[in-house]
Amino acid sequence: MRQPKLRLSLVVSTLTTLALLLSLIAGGWPAAGVMARSDGGHSQDDRKYSRQAKAEKVSPDLRARQRNARAGDDSVSVILQLNDEPSGQLNALLNRDGVHVKAHFENFNSQAVELPLGVVEELAAYPEVEFVSADRQVVSLGHLSVTTGSDMNRSIPGSKQLLDGTGVGIAVVDSGLDPKHLAFVAQGPGKAASRIKVSKDFTGEGRTDDPYGHGTHVAAAAAASSSFTAPVSSPASTQYPTSAYKGIAYNANLINLRVLNSQGRGTASGLLSALNWVMTNRLTYNIRVVNLSLGMPAIDSYRNDPVCRAVRSQADAGVVVVAAAGNNGKDDAGNKVYGQIHAPGNEPSAITVGAANTFGTDARNDDTITTYSSRGPTRSFWTDASGVNHHDNLIKPDLVAPGNKIVSAEASNCQLIKSYPQMDVLTNYLATPNGRAMYMSGSSVAAPVVAGTAALMLQANPRLTPNIVKALLMYTAQQLPGANMFEQGAGELNVEGALRVAKLVCPPASQTVGAPLLTTSTPPTPQSTILTQTVTWSQGLVMGQTYATGVDLITKYQKIYGLGVVIGDGVVIGDGVVIGDSTMFSYGVVIGDHVLTANGTTMGAGTPFFSSSVLMSDGVIMGDGVLLTDGVIIGDGVLLSDGALMTDGVIMGDYNAVSQAAMANGDDTACMY
């Protein structure tokens, strides 16, 4: 890598040359212009995509159902996305006998429709129809304040205000919340009011409590009050030495949006209804953060997936969306697998969070990536007029946070404890029935830790955009040695560092590239001290299909920090060269050439995993039979891990088989989303 005036980074290593040759053999030269944006609204890749005469306006799984339809299989629920007002002819179809519009998502110009399977083709033929996808099933993806550093820097310079999330609304889109749990009471002497400001049900069950038990645990990880404690003298304190199990933003307001039913399952249409409600009511409840500890198979490209597009609308409106990466990082035999990021974690504007294992200690020098945390790259795809699939291949997750065997609130009489009573580890030591605690593992527990951190950052500095929040979280993260970017993104969450920089940010009114971003001319020291351990910041961002480094990322305004764009815009590849568009980045930003394996110091100082240009080539990551550095094979329809075949659009590691089976162990063998 080198840094001339335009930050042009040449691909010169032997590994890169080999990868490019393999890419050429497998599918042609990489397409130029991937992820560059100059029009302020669509990347060059998006424009290339939109110019294609798309052969498919129907999602692959829905198309497969058409092909495999049996007698009597004549009704299907779909999500209909429009690009214009429906014509009279389309309205006539939607009012036809046997066709039922179940829900309108007016903020996303979409509808949930039930109709005969044979009508799908007719529906997709209308020019105002953008895309038709199945109403897929959504499932839950199953000592924090000390180990993350959030107990430090909890004050604003020159102010007596405590950074505890006060006034910031976090929408927890999950299985509901237990309204009587002590974790959700307000802070302060004599305060017993609930911090759950509104509750809505989108499951059709007509209840907003948490019979399943997932949402209560998730919400408490983000925002449990400091009154939620276990007695220090209890036997549990030996295993869990921290007596208080408060959340990161322990006085934030909670908005309870229930989309998962009593069995922990929901639908894409229910999730869209909840996100549509957020768009309409975000200002009323000051909803600045949405937590999505749930997911579904990432089949359609983020450009077409209706939930991904809804997430993008949230981010463009100034709402930070945090999504769990998923828990499919290994197969049933325990082999490491790649390409298993779930939707909507495959959406570029979302902050996608994987799970780190702290091994039950507050110290960070023993932290690793959990074996089950889903790895990138994203394998969702779109299909061109020739029937060729073009995979997104984005680096995800964006960062990781503690997610293994995390103690948090237990909902009353919840299904999870009935199924896995061994998770109820603290019941016998808590005096009140509405103060129960349990442990869970998974990226679904890691995500709310980041959501709570975002709430603290926005309390400290309400002017932060979602992209600035995301950038600061990555820039200040700690690189975990031996983990590559597909496993950890930028590294492990460092709340202290993210808050310290967030307080200094003052986005320029002109939003000019290179304008000062901080209120000081002296950059903050890129290190944090957490429990006497010095934590070095990554000092970089993962973005799209590569990464960027340089102190300019926090000292100067970058165009990628605005609304209506995503981090990763402005990166161009052509003829094996990765460069940064100077209209999007200041001259001090260096664009990298490789996906790296960290050495535990800063981003860019690690060893190459393989070339970014391989990711940017359309459709093929690496040629069949080519081993990556850890012995795992990646490619279209080839072996992802020993004996496990991945075909396009199929998610390996079934949720029921992998995530639920040994979740109760909490020992990094399996987990809950």
pTM, to two decimals: 0.84
Same domain, 395 and 478: yes
CATH number at residue 117: 3.30.70.80
pLDDT of 663: 38
Same domain, 199 and 275: yes
Q: Do the beta carbons of residue 324 and residue 673 sit within 8 Å?
A: yes
Domain boundary among 137, 172, 190: 137
Same domain, 182 and 129: no
Same domain, 294 and 235: yes
Same domain, 170 and 120: no
Has residue 340 been placed in a domain? yes
Structure-model confidence comparison of residues 665 and 295, the more confident one = 295
Average pLDDT estimate for 239-247: 56
Q: Do the beta carbons of residue 468 and residue 505 sit within 8 Å?
A: yes
- Round to whole Å and give the CA distance between 653 and 505: 42
Structure-model confidence comparison of residues 362 and 307, the more confident one = 307
Q: How far apart are the first and last CA of the chain?
A: 38
Confidence label for 188 from pLDDT (cuts 50, 70 and 90): low
Q: Which residue has the tokens 């989108």?
A: 202
Which residue type is seen at 494?
N
Confidence label for 357 from pLDDT (cuts 50, 70 and 90): confident
444: annotated active-site residue = yes
Q: How would DSSP label each residue in 53-122?
A: --S--B-HHHHHHHHT--TT---EEEEEEESSPPPHHHHHHHTSTT-EEEEEEGGGTEEEEEE-GGGHHH
Q: Would you say residue 205 has pLDDT above 80?
A: yes
Has residue 603 been placed in a domain? no
- Round to whole Å and give the CA distance between 184 and 196: 7
Average pLDDT estimate for 645-671: 34
The catalytic position among 45, 174, 367, 398 is: 174
Has residue 48 been placed in a domain? no
Q: What is the rounded average pLDDT for all residues in the chain? A: 80
pLDDT of 243: 39
pLDDT of 532: 72
Query: pLDDT of 542-589, one tens digit each?
Result: 999 999 999 999 999 999 999 999 999 988 877 777 888 889 999 999
Q: Do the beta carbons of residue 487 and residue 354 sit within 8 Å?
A: yes
Has residue 559 been placed in a domain? no
- Round to whole Å and give the CA distance between 634 and 624: 8
Same domain, 317 and 263: yes
Query: pLDDT of 37-86, one tens digit each?
Result: 333 334 445 544 444 445 589 999 998 888 887 766 689 999 999 999 99
Long-range contacts of 649-654 (CB under 8 A, 24+ apart): 649/60, 649/61, 649/297, 649/299, 649/381, 650/297, 651/297, 651/298, 651/328, 651/340, 651/342, 652/328, 652/331, 652/337, 652/340, 653/327, 653/328, 653/329, 653/330, 653/331, 653/332, 653/337, 653/340
CATH number at residue 343: 3.40.50.200
Tokens of 403: 């997610």
Residue among 372, 305, 255 nearest 81 (CA): 305
Alpha-carbon torsion 627, 630, 634, 638, what sign? positive
201: annotated active-site residue = no
Highest mean pLDDT: which range of 91-105, 418-432, 642-656: 91-105
Confidence label for 187 from pLDDT (cuts 50, 70 and 90): low
Same domain, 209 and 119: no
pLDDT of 526: 97
214: annotated active-site residue = yes
Domain boundary among 488, 513, 538: 513
- Round to whole Å and give the CA distance between 97 and 302: 32
pLDDT of 73: 66
Same domain, 122 and 261: no
Query: pLDDT of 518-542, one tens digit each?
Result: 999 999 999 998 777 889 999 999 9
Percentages helix, strand, coil for the chain (3-state, rounded to 5) are: 25, 25, 50
Q: Do the beta carbons of residue 466 and residue 564 sit within 8 Å?
A: no
Q: Could you tell me which residues are beta bridge partners of residue 126?
A: none
Same domain, 125 and 145: no
Peptide bond into 241 cis (omega under 30): no
Residues 6+ apart with CB under 8 A from 211: 175, 176, 262, 411, 413, 414, 415
Has residue 526 been placed in a domain? no
Has residue 281 been placed in a domain? yes
Same domain, 88 and 183: no
Residues of the domain holding 89: 60-137
Alpha-carbon torsion 661, 664, 665, 668, what sign? positive
Same domain, 410 and 276: yes
Same domain, 126 and 245: no
Phi, psi of 124 (to 5 degrees): -70, -20
The catalytic position among 143, 214, 342, 390 is: 214
Q: Would you say residue 95 has pLDDT above 90?
A: yes
The catalytic position among 444, 528, 538, 611 is: 444
Domain boundary among 119, 137, 155: 137
Residue among 344, 555, 355 nearest 440 (CA): 355
Q: Would you say residue 430 has pLDDT above 70?
A: no
Domain count along the chain: 2
pLDDT of 97: 93
Q: Could you tell me which residues are beta bridge partners of residue 162?
A: 155
Has residue 642 been placed in a domain? no
Has residue 96 been placed in a domain? yes
